[in-house]
């Protein structure tokens, strides 16, 4: 009975693997729901922040913040948001691949690039990719807090304020729905002004204590909130991508087990048939 035992052990090991993938799928599903809730919870802040910034662009502050001024691009900074752990399908790789294509364009144009990585995977990848990683954050866990990001983002913003970087982008996975996550790049600083000049009436805020300090604070927080939202969104993407990946792994395992079971049954049947014919042949010879 050739191979029957081997097939049986193989079935056993695949069954064990499929138990793990099934468990991971369920864990990811429940984590995804939480991550989605968190994503929904951060939305009001981001919306209000955007509204305030929008008002600010409509106002005509006597003080122009550096974050609002475009300048010639010699060096760019990328904040890359990735997951800490793997086994989430092509989530990180899709983002990196798309990003590398864009980075090549920058390199061809002679622009230098600096990275700020969030998450283990980006750190690993862009460490090998060969770039200057100026700051990083890893192990944010399932519940990222804005405190964990302040320092990481500040390094980039300081570099921008000092003129070391002329533009900052963020790269992350945008949560479309459970099945789809789209790699997204956005320009963070200088803040792209989509608002057309509105000259209806000329007004400005009262700033307390003064416009410089308030704007410094506000725009810093604005960027932080965008990064935070990207991190939270990427977290939801990670869980849903993992859920889908683990689901397909479990399905594949099931198919594999079915196939092997069939082979095993055939082998067993063949062995029995052979035995019977041997016995019959032996009896006839006697």
Residues that bind another protein (CB under 8 A): 38, 41-42, 44-45, 48-49, 51-52, 55-56, 59, 86, 116-117, 120-121, 123-125, 127-128, 133-138, 145-147, 150-152, 154-155, 158, 203-209, 213-214, 217-218, 221, 224-225, 228
Decide if 235 contacts 142 (C-beta within 8 A).
yes
Q: Which is nearer to another protein, 29 or 150 (CB)?
A: 150
Q: How far is the CB of 172 from another protein (least distance, A)?
A: 16
Residue written as tokens 């965008």?
226
Q: What is the widest separation between alpha-carbon atoms in the chain?
A: 115
Helix 147-161 crosses helix 211-285 at what angle (to 10 degrees)? 120
Q: How far is the CB of 50 from another protein (least distance, A)?
A: 11
Instruction: Characterize the bridge pairing of strands 112-118 and 132-137.
Output: parallel
Q: Which is nearer to another protein, 14 or 155 (CB)?
A: 155
- Helix or strand holding residue 203 (H, E): none
Q: How far is the CB of 284 from another protein (least distance, A)?
A: 34
Q: How far is the CB of 123 from another protein (least distance, A)?
A: 6
Q: How far is the CB of 44 from another protein (least distance, A)?
A: 4
Helix (H, G, I), strand (E, B) or coil at 272: helix
Q: Which is nearer to another protein, 213 or 275 (CB)?
A: 213
Q: Which is nearer to another protein, 175 or 228 (CB)?
A: 228
Q: Which is nearer to another protein, 185 or 207 (CB)?
A: 207
Dump the DSSP string for 134-183. Answer: EEEE----SS--THHHHHHHHHHHHHHHTTS-SEEEEEEEEE-SSS-EEE
């Amino acid at each position: 009975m050739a191979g029957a035992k081997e097939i049986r052990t193989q079935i056993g090991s695949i069954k064990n693997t499929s138990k793990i993938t099934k468990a991971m799928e369920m864990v990811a599903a429940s984590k995804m729901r939480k991550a989605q809730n968190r994503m929904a919870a951060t939305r009001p802040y981001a919306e209000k922040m955007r509204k305030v910034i929008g008002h600010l662009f409509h106002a005509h502050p006597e003080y122009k913040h550096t974050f609002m001024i475009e300048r010639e691009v010699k060096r760019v900074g990328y904040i890359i948001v990735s997951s800490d752990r793997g086994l989430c399908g092509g989530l990180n790789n899709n983002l990196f691949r798309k990003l590398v294509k864009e980075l090549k364009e920058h390199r061809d144009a002679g622009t230098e690039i600096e990275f700020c990585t969030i998450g283990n995977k980006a750190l690993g990848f862009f460490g090998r990719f060969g770039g200057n990683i100026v700051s990083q954050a890893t192990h944010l866990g399932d519940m990222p807090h804005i405190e964990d990001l302040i320092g990481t983002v500040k390094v980039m913003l300081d570099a921008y304020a000092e003129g070391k970087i002329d533009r900052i982008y963020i790269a992350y996975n945008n949560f479309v729905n459970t099945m789809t996550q789209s790699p997204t790049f956005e320009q963070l600083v200088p803040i792209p002004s989509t608002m057309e000049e509105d000259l209806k009436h000329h007004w400005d805020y009262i700033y307390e204590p003064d416009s410089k300090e308030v704007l410094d604070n506000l725009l810093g927080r604005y960027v932080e909130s965008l990064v935070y939202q990207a991190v939270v969104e990427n977290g939801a993407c990670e869980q849903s991508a993992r859920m889908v990946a683990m689901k397909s792994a479990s399905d594949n395992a099931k198919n594999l087990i079915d196939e092997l079971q069939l082979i095993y049954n055939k082998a067993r049947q063949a062995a029995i048939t052979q035995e019977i014919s041997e016995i019959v042949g032996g009896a006839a010879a006697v």
